[in-house]
Amino acid sequence: MTNPPPQNPAWRSAVAGLPAGALAVLQPARGPRGARRVARALLEEAAVLGGGQVLALPGADLLLTPTPAPARRAAQAIADLTGLPPETFPLPEAEQPLATRAEAAALAPPAPAWSLAALEAHVARLPIGEAARLTLLATGAGGAPVAQRLGPAPLGLDDPELEAMAREALCRRLLSALTDPAARGQLPPLRPGLRLILDLPLAGLSGGALRAGRPGDPDGPLALLPLSALAAPAAFARTTEGLRAAGWAIGLLANDAAAPALMDLSEITWVIPAAAAPPPLLPARLIALGRPVPAWCRMPGILHEGVA
């Protein structure tokens, strides 16, 4: 049974002290922990610049400021980085909608704390259709898809290590389904004629299954490995050698857009977040993930998710 919200929570007292023309920005606690930390930092910077404050609710961060301009810039930056704009409430006009949303956020249940055993059981129980996600990618300014990515559905866990473990288990399930005619029909249907990008576990393919085509074709189907595969150089070399022999090009999935600048891997396709600003180094082969799609991602040759 949940407890009712207090009659006069701190955020209500703070709102009551704001002048007309003030602004509230509500950023729900959603998405990966790293993105939430960035959003919180942007809100705190806006509070300093605008003479406001950031209050932590159980399910959200709430910026209250008498000076709207820095808060609006922070809200736009959060939207650009995460693809999910926070909610803004002009005060005092929108005080009641703010109260409704803030009280809902205050009563939001905490994110579940996963144990390793619970996570393994959850991943094993997921229907394969829910465990997989198919996304389409375009290149340049056009919106017509030219490639399709089949990968695990992200669980959005706070712990990056648990999310990585879930990805490994889901990738193994996807591979098993692709080689099983009965289970393959439960996966999202692939589109004929579009280049295939397939998320793989650290070990790549088992037993040389799933031959892709002509070996050595850099524009052939793309095997997407996690960046952590580089932690074991010898195993990575063996994995990529086997994949190339089976007709797969190689891609690396990085959570940091700056990763390509840190290592010289010219034959690799880099897959990075579509950040608001371009990374310090644009590799020759690049896929940018996420929406909205910044202008730099629409350069010819870069694949992006901006497909209608």
- List pLDDT tens digits, range 181-217: 888 889 999 999 999 999 999 888 865 557 777 777 7
Q: What pLDDT digit, counting tens, does each position of 221-231 carry?
A: 999 999 989 98
Record the tokens describing residue 8, joined without a space. 């006069």
Residue 146 burial by CB count (10 A; 0-12/13-18/19+): exposed, middle or buried? middle
pLDDT (mean) for 132-155: 90
Report pLDDT for 173.
92
pLDDT at 23 over 50: yes
Report pLDDT for 1.
34
pTM of the model: 0.64
Buried b (16+ CB within 10 A) or exposed e, 58-69: ebbbbbbbbbbe
Contact (Cβ atoms closer than 8 angstroms) between residue 162 and residue 114? yes
Q: What percent of the chain has pLDDT over 90?
A: 40
Residue-averaged pLDDT of the chain: 85
Report pLDDT for 2.
36
More confident residue, 150 or 290: 150
- What confidence tier does 251 reach under pLDDT thresholds 50, 70, 90? very high
Which residue, 232, 165, 183, 235, is CA-closest to 204? Answer: 235
- Strands laid side by side in the 53-57 sheet: 53-57, 60-65, 22-28, 87-91
Residue 266 exposure: Cα atoms within 13 Å on the Cβ side: 0
